[in-house]
Amino acid sequence: MTSARDRDARRRVMVTGYGAVTPLGHSVEETWTAMLAGRSGIDIVDAIDVTGLAVRIGGQVRGFTPSRYMPPQVSRRADPYAQYALAAALGACEHAGLVVDDRLAPRVAVIIGSGYGPVGSIYRAAHTLRDKGPRAISPFAQVTTAMDSAAAEISMRLGTQGPSRAQSTACASGADAVGAGMRMISHGEADIVLVGGADACVTAVDLAGSGNAGALSRRNDNPTAACRPFDAHRDGFVMSEGAAVLVLEAAEVAEVRGATALAELVGYGASSDAHHWTAPHPEGRGACLAVEAALHDAGITGEDVDYVNAHGTGTLLNDATETAVLHRVLGDRVTRIPVSSTKSMTGHMIGAAGAVELVASIQVLRTGDVPPTINCDEPIDPDINFVPHQAQHHQGMRIAVSNSFGFGGHNAALVVRAV
């Protein structure tokens, strides 16, 4: 547990930039505008053959042009998940006004989370080996089909010389990557860390597997209404893809650079359910531990929270459990603040989800505008303001919590404060 003395001694961590590639757009601005409009990015999947699949809907990144962000030799070798991560990282650096020069490079790190990694490239390599034999396999296959390929591509493109690594904790990967980056800065291991998450798992294998597990919505006839977090008629999450990357900086480094702080990252907590591969603990034991740890790390209580970006997947078990967790951890405060799930519009971007949702949480603090939970026609808890259907404006937003809970019992929560 973090003591008050430890909090006072550690370096403050500022968010100075972010970029995103999502089913709603190829930038934070496009994604945020779509969120506030309540626009869904979910549709029938057309990038792959979905013939015979029980689930044929997903949140695809449409119209993405790799040549806008990278030379052909990179796009040819890089899996789409790494392409999205690189594009988001370039957007984040531009937003932060960050140029990694020789002086900064040794103190700049990269941590990219992913639940599935370069699965498309793995499947293609397996098919090539089967159909054409070993001589047809690319010499880059062993590195570009690795989980760390997104972090490596970003590091090589930007010239960062601090640690670069992958983080994989299923749906909590993006949030855990942010938390790891926060710890690196606060403990003096790095001055700047590019953190975030990426996934491109709208594939036949992953749609089939998650569909057979009963985790996915089967509303193929009405894709935009399929993801229904906290609605009584929800029937599963929607598989999606994308990426988000944030620039974290030690406060004093950002000040010297003349960078604008968008928010302060003040709390992080993580835990494990130790219960089941796909089902959350029925009493939300692990989720409670993560949220409580994040609040304690930030030196605040539930009464200080002004907004929650919920994990809110639209599955029967997650939404019921998360609702109970919020009541337990926040007490009566949860009935007086907005709680929304942006997955209702983006779908579940797996490893990218926590990073995208942290960006949305910061935007809420900066603007006072709260994105809605669309398709929430019959809320499972009438005492909570799930921001149904339409965005809301709230004054005086100072503290936001972003939750991420994943398969395998991985839980992570982040706390950000307005500056």
Can you spell out the DSSP letters for 175-237?
Answer: HHHHHHHHHHHHTTS-SEEEEEEEE---SHHHHHHHHHTT-B---TT-GGGS--TTBTT---B
Torsion 49-51-53-56 (CA) sign: positive
- The one catalytic residue among 201, 348, 376, 410: 348
Q: What is the pLDDT of residue 2?
A: 57
- 21, β-bridge pairs: 243
Q: Compute how many other C-beta atoms are within 10 angstroms of the C-beta atom of residue 47.
A: 15
- Of the candidates 218, 262, 209, 224, the one whose C-alpha atom is nearest the C-alpha of residue 96 is 262
- Report the alpha-carbon distance of residue 340 to residue 338 in Å, rounded: 6
Q: What is the pLDDT of residue 283?
A: 83
- Report the alpha-carbon distance of residue 289 to residue 325 in Å, rounded: 10
Residues 6+ apart with CB under 8 A from 394: 306, 307, 338, 368, 370
CA distances to 57, 157, 254 from 102, in Å: 46, 14, 17
- The one catalytic residue among 26, 95, 281, 311: 311
Q: What is the pLDDT of residue 5?
A: 60
Secondary structure of residue 413 in the 3-state scheme: strand
List, run by run, the mean pLDDT of 10-residue segments along the chain (419 residues).
64 98 98 98 97 97 97 96 98 98 97 97 95 95 94 98 98 98 98 98 96 96 98 98 98 97 98 85 90 98 98 96 97 98 98 98 98 98 98 97 94 98
- Report the alpha-carbon distance of residue 382 to residue 339 in Å, rounded: 12
User: What is the identity of the amino acid at 14?
Assistant: M
How distant is the alpha carbon of residue 10 from its chain centre?
Answer: 25
Residues 6+ apart with CB under 8 A from 417: 263, 264, 266, 298, 365, 398, 399
- Report the alpha-carbon distance of residue 280 to residue 222 in Å, rounded: 27
Catalytic residue status for 171: yes
Catalytic residue status for 348: yes
- β-bridge pairing 192-199 and 369-370: unpaired
Burial class (CB in 10 A: 0-12, 13-18, 19+), 140: middle
Q: What is the pLDDT of residue 6?
A: 63
DSSP code per residue over 301-355: -GGG--EEE------HHHHHHHHHHHHHHHGGGGGSSBEE-THHHH-B-GGGHHH
Q: What is the pLDDT of residue 276?
A: 85
DSSP category for residue 402: E
Residue with tokens 């990144």: 61
- The one catalytic residue among 171, 227, 288, 376: 171
- β-bridge pairing 164-167 and 108-113: parallel
CB 372 within 8 A of CB 379: no
CA distances to 13, 98, 99, 106, 246 from 103, in Å: 20, 12, 10, 7, 21
CB 107 within 8 A of CB 248: no
CA distances to 28, 162, 189 from 158, in Å: 20, 11, 19
Work out the angle at residue 66's Cα, subtended by the Cα atoms of residues 211 and 129, and round it to the nearest 5 degrees: 60
Q: What is the pLDDT of residue 364?
A: 98
